[in-house]
Amino acid sequence: MSTPELVYKKPCAVGESPVWDAQAGALWWVDIVRKTIHRWVMRSGEHQSWLLQEMVGSIALGIDGCVVAAQETAIERIELLAGGEIRSIRKTPVEHAIPGMRCNDGRCDPCGRFVCSTMFNDMSAGKSVGAFLSLKGDRIERFFEPSVIVGNGLAFSLDGRSMYVSDSHPSVQTVWVCDYDLGTGYASRPRVFADFKALDGRPDGAAIDADGCYWICANDGGAVYRFTPSGQLDRRVPLPVKKPSMCAFGGANFDTLFVTSIRPEGIDLSDQPLAGCVFAVNPGVKGREEPKFAT
Task: Report, as residue numbers or ranges, the catalytic residues.
Answer: 204
The CA distance from 42 to 248, in Å, is 14
Q: Is 196 helix (H, G, I), strand (E, B) or coil?
A: helix
The CA distance from 227 to 179, in Å, is 18
102: which residues sit within 8 A by CB, 6+ positions away? 54, 55, 57, 71, 72, 118, 119, 121
The CA distance from 221 to 22, in Å, is 30
3-state SS record for 164-193 = EEEECCCCCCEEEEEEEECCCCEEEEEEEE
Which candidate, 153, 216, 232, places its Cα nearest to that of 187? Answer: 153
